[in-house]
Structures are given as structure tokens and as C-alpha cells.
Amino acid sequence: MTHLDAATEAAARILDDITALVEVETSSYDKAALDTGLAHVERLLAGHLGEPDESRRHDGGTYGDVLTATYAGTGTGHVALVAHYDTVWPTGTLADWPVATERVDGRDRLTGPGIFDMKTGLVQGIWALRLLRESGAPTPTVTFVLNGDEEVGSLVSRPVIEAVGGSADATLVLEPTAAGAVKTGRKGIGIFTLEVVGVESHAGLDPTAGASAIHALARVIEQVVPIARPDRGTTVNVGLVQGGSGSNVVAGRATAQVDVRVSDPAEQERVDQAFAAVTTGDPRVRLEVEHGWNRPPMTLTEATAPLLEIARKVSADLGHDLQDASVGGASDANFVAALGKPVLCGLGAVGHGAHARGEYIHPDAVPHQTALVAGMLEHLSDNPWG
């Protein structure tokens, strides 16, 4: 029996596991819910794969904990399977958006909060190793890295991901696909905070005695937005603005958070210099810029190119011509790529709508995606890079 035959036969059970995991809400900002969600994932691992040979739960603080679970293989290869179990959806979302099947344009969709990004990929990864084991084919040692803080920047999990990804022969990140394509390019993310301190005064009695932080921030934003260079893959978005204490008070403080995306690592230095050159236009107003590069860019490197070819070969054997894509979003794959190690992203769900109400997967793609990961693990059972 081929991996695809086995995954097709198990499809109903895989979908049941996906549904059950989606029905355990895991908002990135709800620690208790994240603990419950990770306990559910641990039961999934144990139920399908047995107890891991090595396991460690890394404390996430106010965010979700990070679980590393290693299953020894029969070959010499070592593969990291990376997935996050947190979602962007607040606890309670499931009450008015339950998991449901709908048919659109002649094809079924399964919808629910977090089903596409990325609980389906997590479940498929567990089943992929199970089916590979059951086939009797050689298996690599597999380390699952399951984190509950990806949607807030992987602040706790980054060093864990880098440690495991740095020691593994290859890393497969089970984020959703790009319409069926794997992701070999992802933009780097910078989160810049602008803090402006002005001088408060009464807006009616003595307006000229004040120096508005809000007015100054508006001038700063006018300088920040043109830092974008879409032709170079660099975008700038001022996504959050706060400030002032009342409509009749010349504002003493104002802040803005700016999302910067870059495709080219060289752009990071240019962006840093451009932000450093921004001024308030008023000597009475102080500006502080916090430069925060959250993730480096990910590009298709010489290290990853052979891994992509393995994925294409496996997919071709499954009857599918696998494409690759570069996307604007970032993931935990960015961290591994920056280490110069082989990494592929987007091996999870086929569907649409990450972070959008109504996100969905195509259930009929679940067997293929599960078989794809199983086949890649088989090819990586012995380290192809020596």
C-alpha cells in the first residue's frame, strides 16, 4: 500500500482529529486555553506514535509553552517537524463559528477558527509519521517542535526552534500551503515602535504653550510611509496609533506601531537608517524609535534547493506537480533559513483565509498532503547531505 493509499484510507480519522483540535480553542493570549490545547496535542502524539523517546516542555511564561518531542528512527537522518498550536482567534470565537462543512463551486470546504492556520498541518504531520511507521519503510528520527506563541512573534520559542533546526538535517514547517505550493520565500518582519513625547497644555486657554505629540507623530508618519520600496519587496504599514488624554488637551504622548516587511536582507540596514533619520519637526518634541526585527527574510538557498527537489519528486510520485512560492507573511521557517540549514515551509493545509473569519481547508487534499510529508520523511530517513 502506498502512502497515499494509506492516507486516503485514514482520511476520515485524520479529519476527525483535525476537527477535535480546532474545537479546543487556543488563543495566543489565553494561557489557560493554550495549556489545555497543548495537553490535547500531547494526547494526539501519544495516541498515534506512543510516548516520545525524549520530551521537554519549555515554559512559555504568559504565552503558550513549547513542546519538543523526539521519536527515534530506523535510519541515520534527523528531521524537525515544526508547527504552532496557537491561533489569532479570541477564546469564545467557536461559539458563533463552529467547525462546519460547506460546499462551494462543487468542492467541500471545512471551516473553523485556526483550521487553516495551522491546526490541519499539525495533525497531518503526526499522521504522516504514523503512516510511515506502519508502512514498514525506514524512518528518520523526528523531533516535533510545537509552539504556542508563533502568532505573537515566537518570542519564547525562537531559541528552541533554532536549536532543533540547527541540529537537524532538514526542517519541515507544517504551515498552510500557498494554494497547494510549498513556500520557499518569506519576508522578514520588523516591528518598529514610534514614541513621541510632547508638551501638554490647555487646548483653549493656552494652546501655543503646548507641543502636540499627536501632531508631531502625524509628521513622523508622513516620513515613515515612503520608506517602503515595493519594487524591492519592502512594505511599511502603520497599523496602530495611540495618544493623547483628552480632546481639550494638547497631547503630551503618542505612539505608533509600524509593520515592516522585507524580502532582501540588505533592506534591513536601509530601513534602519531611514527610521533613524526621521524627525518630529519641533525641537520641543522628543522622538524615540524602537527597532525590532522579529524575523529575518527567508529565501530559496543552496541549502534548501535539494530539499525542494526531494519534495517535488515525492509529489510527482503522488501524481502532482509541486510548485513553490514566495509570500509576504513570515513563519518559524525564517529562523531556520537564517541558520543556513535546509528548510521548507507550507507543507500543511490546502485551503484559504489565514487570519480571516471563514478560513477553511479542502478536506479532499488532506490525504495528499499527509502522504507528501510521509514520503519526504522516508526520503530523509538517511541524511542525503551525508
Rounded to an integer, the average pLDDT of 143-148 is 98
Question: Are 146 and 198 members of one domain?
Answer: no
User: Is residue 251 within 8 Å of residue 195, measured between CB atoms?
Assistant: no
Residue 115 within any structural domain of the chain: yes
Q: How high does pLDDT run on average in the chain?
A: 97
In the prediction, which pLDDT does 385 show? 74
Domain boundary among 237, 270, 295: 295
Q: Is the pLDDT of residue 75 over 90?
A: yes
Domain boundary among 242, 267, 295: 295
Question: Are 284 and 304 members of one domain?
Answer: no
Q: How many CB atoms lie within 10 A of CB 1?
A: 11
Question: Are 257 and 344 members of one domain?
Answer: no
Question: Are 19 and 132 members of one domain?
Answer: yes
Question: Are 139 and 180 members of one domain?
Answer: yes
User: Is residue 346 within 8 Å of residue 323, measured between CB atoms?
Assistant: no
- How far is it, in rounded angstroms, from Cα 103 to Cα 172? 31
Residue 157 within any structural domain of the chain: yes
Domain range for 289: 188-295
Residue 25 within any structural domain of the chain: yes
Domain boundary among 253, 278, 295: 295
Question: Are 235 and 257 members of one domain?
Answer: yes
- How far is it, in rounded angstroms, from Cα 285 to Cα 270? 25
Backbone angles phi, psi at 79, to 5 degrees: -120, 135
Question: Are 145 and 112 members of one domain?
Answer: yes
Question: Are 49 and 153 members of one domain?
Answer: yes
Residue 386 within any structural domain of the chain: no
CATH number for the domain harbouring residue 267? 3.30.70.360
Residue 371 within any structural domain of the chain: yes
Rounded to an integer, the average pLDDT of 2-25 is 98
Q: How many domains does the structure of the chain reveal?
A: 2
| Cell triple for 312 | 517535488
Residue type, 156: V
Question: Are 282 and 334 members of one domain?
Answer: no
Question: Are 260 and 114 members of one domain?
Answer: no
CATH number for the domain harbouring residue 130? 3.40.630.10
Residue 385 within any structural domain of the chain: no
Residue 96 within any structural domain of the chain: yes
Q: Which of 329, 355, 214 is nearest to 282 (CA)?
A: 214
pLDDT single digits (tens) 185-201: 999 999 999 999 999 99
Question: Are 180 and 78 members of one domain?
Answer: yes
pLDDT single digits (tens) 84-111: 999 999 999 999 999 999 999 999 999 9
Residue 384 within any structural domain of the chain: no
Q: CA 26, 28, 34 angle in degrees (round to 5)?
A: 40
Q: Is the pLDDT of residue 124 over 80?
A: yes
Question: Are 13 and 141 members of one domain?
Answer: yes
pLDDT band of residue 383 (cuts 50, 70, 90) is confident
